Amino acid sequence: MSAVPEHATPAHPDPNEPDISGLAASEDSPDRHREHEDRHRAEADGLSVWATAQSTGPVQRRGRYVPESVKHPARMLPAIAAHAIGAYTQPGDLVLDPMCGIGTTLVEAVHAGRDAFGIEYEPQWSNIADANIRHAHDQGATGRASVIRGDATRLMSLVPKALTRQVALVVTSPPYGPTVHGLVRASEHGVVKYDDRYGEDKGNLAYRDLTGLADGFAEILAGCATLLRPGGVVVVTARPWRKRGELVDLPSAVIAAGLRAGLVPTERCVALLAAVRDGQLVARPSFFQLQQVRKARAGGVPMHLIAHEDVLIFALPPQDPSGVVA
């Protein structure tokens, strides 16, 4: 799904979710967000298109996450995690994010009355995830959550065996596309990029090429499959990115990784990164997306903005009556 690029100011404090001038920007108040979100939810139950960007990421996180959360280079939209949790779990269920970053999945789970745990490789992000969980509890969240520090490719060495077959839902996203990460600000020397790295440890999955990333992610999903209960679901969000003008098909690599991990793809949905206003998409592109599209169009390539993330949904293989996986 794509949208024609709109103008944006490169010096906006969060260019991954820039302001939209005029009508769209005026509609991003919390009251208007609730109005549009409630109206769409009533119409869209069971549809494969998730209206998860009716308000910008900063509006979704404001007051709900600690300010330091903005430093992470690739934060999942809270509405994506919340939609998955609401669609695939019940109160009291256990939710896992094996690459939890600042803890978006965990925060949305505990606010929804679910229990959750996450794995995070980088101490900087796991500390912020802990702070976000405490903040959620201060706001009255009733679920329990915790963060385990470690390498999720060795998931079963980090998680108590008692949790085997206990997880109702996995929600996660692999790292991707360093060219789309980070924030920018204007300076006398031009545009300066910052907060664009997962960390300095080259053991981080984020620093592998696509093949290495897919291999590591398959290991992570294999661990998730061991923890998943019968009837449980794995939800992975991913989007393609461009490298030297060519599209890198991360969603297809994720599907292949899931198959190698012993999971079965069951759905392929779309989580919008654009708002729906009167039947049209209001794009919220990053500075980097706009830059790539403008360069491509200047070169005669009719490129459009990517206005969604793929949501890839997996389940365990079916079992025969004896309980043996088919």
**Lowest mean pLDDT, pick from 34-43, 148-157, 250-259:** 34-43
What tokens appear for 101 in the block? 């970053």
Q: How confident is the model at residue 194 (pLDDT cuts 50, 70, 90)?
A: very low
Query: Mean pLDDT across the stretch 218-222?
Result: 97
Query: Mean pLDDT across the stretch 15-20?
Result: 36
What tokens appear for 143 in the block? 């679920």
Digit-coded pLDDT (tens) for 59-113: 999 999 999 998 887 789 999 999 999 999 999 999 999 999 999 999 999 999 9
Gap between the Cα atoms of 147 and 187, Å rounded = 37
Query: Mean pLDDT across the stretch 187-201?
Result: 51
In DSSP notation, 73-97 reads SSPPPHHHHHHHHHHH--TT-EEEE
Q: Where are the alpha helices (DSSP H) in 186-249?
A: 210-227
